[in-house]
Amino acid sequence: DAKTTQPPSMDCAEGRAANLPCNHSTISGNEYVYWYRQIHSQGPQYIIHGLKNNETNEMASLIITEDRKSSTLILPHATLRDTAVYYCIVRDPWGKFQFGAGTQVVVTP
């Protein structure tokens, strides 16, 4: 299974863009990168996913490097409600998600 590496924590100022990095250097060609977040004591929430092209939706943008060994989740205008643990996951070919420790993002006023 491909593994991911994320920084354990990061702070972001409210209203600024938050750029969350993720390394997945052993990713295979058919494995997708998914991002979820988990607000304290709630279930994880889907954010976005992609294979090799950059993706954007109403919540965030996902930038995947050309060699697919890393990606960045961008929250364009962070709000206090974006404080959460963010998980970068490489989904294996059998469909399973393997959650890591994630990045604790704290958005400050």
Partner 1 sequence: ETGVTQTPRHLVMGMTNKKSLKCEQHLGHNAMYWYKQSAKKPLELMFVYSLEERVENNSVPSRFSPECPNSSHLFLHLHTLQPEDSALYLCASSQDWRDISGDEQFFGPGTRLTVL
- Which stretches of the chain bind partner 1, using CB under 8 A? 30-32, 34, 41-46, 49, 51, 91-102
Q: How far is the CB of 97 from partner 1 (least distance, A)?
A: 7
Q: How far is the CB of 95 from partner 1 (least distance, A)?
A: 5
> Is the separation of the CB atoms in 56 and 64 below 8 Å?
no
Q: What are the strands of the beta sheet with 84-91, ordered from one edge?
A: 9-13, 103-108, 84-91, 32-38, 45-50
Task: Give the nearer residue to partner 1 in terms of CB position, either 45 or 79.
Answer: 45
Q: How far is the CB of 16 from partner 1 (least distance, A)?
A: 27
> Is the separation of the CB atoms in 33 and 24 below 8 Å?
yes
Q: Which residue has the tokens 């494995």?
A: 31
Task: Give the nearer residue to partner 1 in terms of CB position, either 57 or 108.
Answer: 57
